[in-house]
A = this chain, B = another copy of it.
Amino acid sequence: MTKRQDRQHKEAPALTRRGLFLGAAAGGLGAALPGAGHAGSAEPMTPAEAMSDAANPAMHLEYPFYSAADETAPQAGIETPPQRYTMFMSFDLTTRDPRDLQVLLARWSAAIGLLMKGRPVGQVEPERTAAVGLDTGEALDLGTAALTVTLGLGPRVFGPDFGLADKRPSHLRELETLPSDALRPGLRGGDLSLQACAEDPQVAYHAIRDLARIAKRTGAAATRWTQMGFGRASAGKGQETPRNLFGFRDGTRNIREAQDFNQHVWVENGPDWSHGGTYQVVRKIEMHIENWDNAQVSVQNAVFGRHKVTGAPLTGQHEFDAPDFARRDAAGSPVIPVDSHMRQMAHEENDGVKILRRSYNYTDGLNAVGRLDAGLLFVSYQNDPAHFERLQRRLGTSDALGEYVSHIGSGVFFVPPAPKEGSYIGAELFG
């Protein structure tokens, strides 16, 4: 072989045995892996085939946007097992006319219904091409990718401008100032929120981009702040607990069961129309990962109250072992430190309060002094934002993790139930 042929030969790596073995071991799905399916025929997938949308079942998942006529259902993107990627954006209302808000909610809902089916929000290339495209086109070939778009209404929607005060969800108000706050002016609040989650970030980006375009065209709302998340940092039922950028499993004790959703997430009081909705809290949390990386791992473990690699509580061996908050070491100190994150957040220590976390890792590249600029787009759902405040006030005061994080962005929104086919999110507010 010539040197050139050698190079081309290197061009064709195959699915390794090790890779296939890992797949089979991790999910018991080995037999269904395309590579494994071809094993008998000695025709392994090419890398291009393995990387195609066709080979990844997650790219074909489709969630319903509308609820059935005879049920009240939450919007998708809350109970939904967290997809890998997110694009979050909040908006300021630029109108005082409730009809403008109504039109925007109706147009957004219609568009979200299309997007979640993998369809463009309108023609990409109109037949009369001397027109502006209604859809920007970058997701044309990408399929559904498990897209969900979740829409929230901020406190000002129910303020004096729009005459909707009597429809205000009981607990919707601005968040209190919290001890961890280092909020930046450009990353605060918003009157409306959109969170797109998907198995392809380009699908999520496209959804938010085209919804922001619709907002601009209606003249009802303008962009306020946004964040893309590149890795899920929360698990739903049946999912492995992912890791945050501190390298720790995040959310081992997160809500997963229906009874917890009913008890802690879905709203059951206040105006009728709000029942079955929930409150969304969004925090952009900067993580000082270079400082963190310089901390001893024993310190890191004490900060979380868990072992870094296994995720086990410091009193246990396995991730899901129940933490023993009472156990003390030979010196008489609690094995799970009093100021550890797990203990501070534990429902056992907070009158049973639980919140659903649905967060994402993000990076903003490098900061002004050349350090890695990264963190967590924290998103929680609960039936009262006071539950978030209670936990966060405690964390901000006495949590060992506080030294390594800054809360730089914040928003709170009420997320109405899903609309019925033919209607739109928040329709009950009007008429």
Interface residues of A (CB under 8 A from B): 1, 3-4, 6-11, 13, 15-16, 18-20, 22-24, 26-35, 37-38, 45-64, 67-68, 71-74, 76, 79-81, 83-85, 124-126, 129-133, 136-141, 143-144, 146, 199-202, 205, 209, 212-213, 222-228, 230-231, 236-240, 242-248, 258, 261-262, 266, 276, 289, 293-298, 300-301, 307-309, 361, 363-366, 370-372, 374, 418
Contacts and interface: CB of A to CB of B under 8 A. Distances in A.
Nearest to A70: B6
A51 B238 CA distance: 10
A19 B143 contact: yes
A62 B247 contact: no
Given A47-B61, A236-B48, A247-B133, A10 B71 contact: yes
28 contacts: A10-B64, A13-B64, A16-B62, A18-B62, A19-B62, A22-B143, A23-B54, A27-B53, A31-B37, A32-B34, A33-B60, A35-B60, A47-B80, A52-B240, A125-B297, A129-B297, A129-B301, A132-B293, A132-B294, A132-B297, A137-B309, A138-B244, A138-B246, A201-B201, A209-B372, A223-B372, A225-B366, A226-B365
Nearest to A238: B48
B29 A84 contact: no
Given A55-B58, A202-B361, A308-B124, A297 B133 contact: yes
A269 B313 CA distance: 59
Contacts of A139: 243
B199 A125 contact: no
Contacts of A125: 297, 301, 307-309
A125 B296 CA distance: 9
Contact of A60 (B19, B61, B137, B372): B19
Nearest to A16: B62
Contacts of A141: 240, 242-243
Contacts of A140: 243, 247, 309
A129 B296 contact: yes
B83 A51 contact: yes
A309 to B, nearest CB: 5
